[in-house]
Copies of this chain bind each other. A is one copy, B any other.
Amino acid sequence: MSVALPMPLAIPLVLICAGAALAAEPRARDLGIPFDFGAPGPHNAITDVKGVEVGHVTLIEGKGVRTGVTAILPRGKGDPARQPVFAGHFSLNGNGEMTGLPWVEESGLLDGPVLITNTNSVGVVRDAVIRYAAQHWPPPPGNDWGWTVWSLPVVAETWDGGLNDIYGMHVKTEHAFQAIDRASGGPVAEGNVGGGTGMVCYEFKGGIGTASRVLPAKLGGYTLGVLVQANFGLRHQLRIAGVPVGAEIRDGLVRTEDSGSIIIVVATDAPLLPHQAKRLARRAALGLARTGSVAGNGSGDLFLAFSTANAGAGGSEGIVPLQMLPNDRMGPLFEATVGATEEAIVNALVAARTMTGHDGRTVVALPQDKVRAILERHGRLGR
């Protein structure tokens, strides 16, 4: 096999930013696919959690470049390195990479943004975040810069080497910078965008998906949002709304084993401590399971959850006052996590479009009409 080492590309990459032309495309709910466990927020997106921003850099160029970077900023671009969030993670199947986890586990804190890209670009993106932080989020005055500063970014990946020329190493430092700079609240582009550009899910075209839930006021009124980079699953496993859709749509199969991955990020404004965030991260697995996954051996199924409450979580002096949602009140958040994760995955499938890429491979989009017909036949189609 021939491995292309990185080289300057003659033609500038096409950079497609988040937010473009979102209105026109139906999402899973718009197709009448039903989901459980409460109502979504205004954008049905992780950005419904106040402060959370998402930015995509999409690299589609020539015959083989089909990749990108997605950035999630838990508290926006203001000052993330100094205002970390409580966080926790879960590895359902660790055939993947998410850097920075030892410190998340130890400190209970997620400092800075979460970036998601392709497998071979985790390193360049990780180092880029350190550079970006040094430029934009210097430590507070009085800190002895020479001796200690945050430099343990969280960068995750899934493998797009089917559709993308992954050994071309097309993701560069500036793409990571751009993904962060473009991050914003509001609607989030889904499907073939950002880190999800070249991904494959249940042997349909996959990518980025998102969804949210808002709890009733009497349960706290909290918002919980999920973003996935979906790149996993064998066709026959796929269930949508509980219906074994994958068993009925047998064309366009591309995988012989479950070698993909899924990164799931859960955000909430409920005041959770780190060990409680970890509880949410585990529930992401249950939402994933509802779509049919068995977390295949080749799948890097790594989940991260964080809470934007407790602005002082990262304090380094004195005694930090905090708030905590009691464990006894977490049940509705568990349901929200399961429901929003399931929906985010289906949203990724619905949004993604058929793509031809590296080595001429093609992966087809989920055929929405067929899915609707199958759900209707099973009495599961809304509206």
**Interface of A toward B, CB cutoff 8 Å:** 1, 3, 5, 36-37, 91-109, 119-128, 130-131, 134-135, 138, 144-149, 151-152, 155, 159, 161-162, 167, 169, 237, 239, 241-244, 255-259, 271, 273-276, 279, 282-283, 285-290, 293-298, 300, 302, 314-331, 334-335, 337-338, 358-359, 361, 377-380
Contacts and interface: CB of A to CB of B under 8 A. Distances in A.
A122 B131 contact: no
B103 A94 contact: yes
A282 B324 contact: no
Contacts of A145: 1
A319 B220 CA distance: 9
Per CB-CB distance, the 6 closest pairs between chain A and chain B, nearest first, are: A242-B242, A94-B102, A94-B106, A123-B127, A123-B123, A289-B289
Contacts of A378: 378-380
Nearest to A132: B3
6 contacts: A94-B105, A95-B102, A95-B106, A97-B152, A296-B331, A322-B322
Contacts of A135: 3
A151 B159 contact: yes
A159 to B, nearest CB: 7
A361 to B, nearest CB: 7
B379 A148 contact: no
B334 A325 contact: no
Contacts of A104: 94
